[in-house]
Amino acid sequence: MNLKALKRLAPQLIAVFLIIAVIGYFWNNTRLNMEYLGMEFGYDFLSKAASFDIQFSLIDYDGSSPYFRAYLVGLLNTILVSVLGIIFATLIGLFIGVSRLSPNYLVSKLAEVYIEVFRNIPLLLQLFFWYFAVLRTLPLPENAISFGQSIFITIKGIYVPKFIWTNFNFFIISFILAIIVSFFIFSYAKKQRENYGKHFPAFWVSLGTIILFSGSGFLFGIVNLTFEYPEIYNLTETVFNYRGGVTIIPELLSLLFALSLYTSTFIAENVRAGILGVGKGQKEASSSLGLTPAQTLRLVVLPQALRIIIPPTTNQYLNLTKNSSLAAAIAYPDLVLVFAGTALNQTGRAIEIITITMGTYLTLSILISIFMNWYNKRIEIKEK
């Protein structure tokens, strides 16, 4: 064996040895400790009854459900708040990022102040501020702020009407069908444009298709939609509450406020960098080709800006998903609170529960980044 190969091999062998030694050391300690404390290792507890209640759940859950069900409730709540947060953060971020570039001095300064303020204050603090300082000042149920007697804003949450569907499946199937059809319409329009230079109004046609398809159920009386309005009732002599409808709990609201306002500042900066990153020559070239300003923005600037915007924005989406775990601090029943909090305290299975929780977040992160990488690859410059 020559010296060069040895020089490569030796450090690696040492590294492997060190890693194994460290892991082995911790493993051994853990084993001894668990033996000493009379703890056992295993995932069998997942099927035992959880016997604790969860305040807010998207699926059926009660105390007799197993821990695995509690885990699912937490996971779904995490996904719910992340998805909503991502949508709001993107919208606000886009708006603020574009405002930041406005030629209007006042608008761009206000956007800058917004960005600096919300970016430089810790997320947890913002969360507490919304939850303990702002949403606690809302009125009691009997003095609720109401919109058209169907939406009620109170300290206990926002009550909105519930959709009651008959034959919901028919509606959703026709809706999905319409989406598929409009996908074909778009590819047809693209072919027409690229091969024959003909313009086909794909957007309007597919919008019409979607309305027609999903409306057909209503038209023929197969699908029906009614609303169940929340109504006030006496819990006791002086305490009021609402029943019926859907309750958006204040924990979810404050988490959404905090997450979307905080993340939107980072997205706004990405948007700004992306738009600034498109060369001036591109805009000039497109207007000299006779494109209107709107067309320039839609067909020339945005596609190029998106390429710069998407990778860092993916990171922000990932951050938002991970930051949603701060929910534990205000008792929104997300994965961390339900599973790494309550379930861990009840079962004492620290290793199992924390590995499952971490593994779940890891999987979510990897899934989002795979999806965004795929999307990124789709829109990247294809050099010919």
Partner 1 sequence: MNYLDNIIKPKQANQNTLVIFGSILILISFLDVVLLSVFDINLTGSSKGISFFLPLLLGFIGMYYIRFDHTNFPLINRFNKSLNIDWLNSIFTLLSIFVLLKFVPLILNWLIFDANFIGTAKEDCTGGGACWVFINVWLKRFVYGLYPDSETWRINLAFILLFVTIGASYLAKPKFKKYIILFLLFVFPFIGLSLISGDVGGLVYVETNVWGGLALTLIVSIFAIIFCFPIGVMLAMGRRSELPVVKYFSVGFIELWRGVPLITVLFMAANMFPLFLPEDVFLDKLIRCIIGIILFEAAYMAEVVRGGLQSLPKGQYEAAKSLGMGYWRMHLFVILPQALKIVIPGIANTFIALFKDTPLIFIVGLLELLGMIDLAKTNPKWLGFAAEGYVFAALVYFVFCYSMSRYSQKLEKRLSTER
For partner 1, give the closer residue by CB, 33 or 226.
33
Nearest distance from residue 257's CB to partner 1, in Å? 14
Closest CA to 80 of 371, 321, 277: 321
Residue from 322, 331, 346, 347 in contact with partner 1 (CB under 8 A) = 322
Nearest distance from residue 268's CB to partner 1, in Å? 15
User: Does residue number 107 form part of the binding site for partner 1 (CB under 8 A)?
Assistant: yes
**109 alpha-carbon distance from chain centroid:** 29
- How far is Cα 307 from Cα 287, in angstroms, rounded to an integer? 21
**229 alpha-carbon distance from chain centroid:** 28
- Segment interacting with partner 1, rule: CB under 8 A, options 113-121, 187-195, 209-217, 228-236: 113-121
For partner 1, give the closer residue by CB, 136 or 243.
136
User: Does residue number 5 form part of the binding site for partner 1 (CB under 8 A)?
Assistant: no
User: Does residue number 103 form part of the binding site for partner 1 (CB under 8 A)?
Assistant: yes
Closest CA to 320 of 94, 117, 78: 78
Residue from 73, 89, 92, 123 in contact with partner 1 (CB under 8 A) = 123
User: Does residue number 1 form part of the binding site for partner 1 (CB under 8 A)?
Assistant: no
Q: Is 258 helix (H, G, I), strand (E, B) or coil?
A: helix
User: Does residue number 350 form part of the binding site for partner 1 (CB under 8 A)?
Assistant: yes
- How far is Cα 128 from Cα 332, in angstroms, rounded to an integer? 12
Which amino acid is present at 97? G
- How far is Cα 270 from Cα 309, in angstroms, rounded to an integer? 5
Residue from 120, 149, 169, 236 in contact with partner 1 (CB under 8 A) = 120
Residue from 306, 328, 331, 372 in contact with partner 1 (CB under 8 A) = 328
Residue from 24, 53, 62, 122 in contact with partner 1 (CB under 8 A) = 122
User: Does residue number 116 form part of the binding site for partner 1 (CB under 8 A)?
Assistant: yes
- Segment interacting with partner 1, rule: CB under 8 A, options 45-53, 66-74, 179-187, 353-361: 353-361
Closest CA to 251 of 90, 117, 52, 77: 77
- How far is Cα 100 from Cα 274, in angstroms, rounded to an integer? 12
User: Does residue number 140 form part of the binding site for partner 1 (CB under 8 A)?
Assistant: no
For partner 1, give the closer residue by CB, 132 or 218.
132
The set of residues, in sequence order, having a beta carbon less than 8 Å from that of 188 and lying 6+ positions away, is 200, 202
Nearest distance from residue 103's CB to partner 1, in Å? 6
Alpha helices for the chain (secondary structure H): 3-37, 67-100, 105-119, 123-128, 168-191, 202-219, 250-277, 280-288, 293-295, 302-323, 335, 344-347, 350-379
Closest CA to 190 of 178, 176, 206: 206
User: Does residue number 133 form part of the binding site for partner 1 (CB under 8 A)?
Assistant: yes
User: Does residue number 261 form part of the binding site for partner 1 (CB under 8 A)?
Assistant: no
- How far is Cα 52 from Cα 334, in angstroms, rounded to an integer? 14
Residue with tokens 């779940």: 360
Nearest distance from residue 246's CB to partner 1, in Å? 28
Nearest distance from residue 363's CB to partner 1, in Å? 8
Which amino acid is present at 291? L
Neighbours of 16 (CB within 10 A): 10
Nearest distance from residue 132's CB to partner 1, in Å? 4
Residue from 68, 129, 229, 240 in contact with partner 1 (CB under 8 A) = 129
Task: Please tell me the count of residues contacting partner 1 according to CB under 8 A.
Answer: 53
For partner 1, give the closer residue by CB, 29 or 234.
29
Is residue 377 within 8 Å of 306, Cβ to Cβ?
Answer: no
Residues 30-69 that bind partner 1 (CB under 8 A): 30, 32-34, 36
Compute the chain's Rg from CA coordinates.
27
Q: Which residues bind partner 1 (CB under 8 A)?
A: 8, 11-12, 15-16, 19, 26, 29-30, 32-34, 36, 102-107, 110, 116-117, 119-126, 128-129, 132-133, 136, 322-323, 325-326, 328-329, 336, 340, 344, 350-351, 354, 357-358, 361-362, 365-366
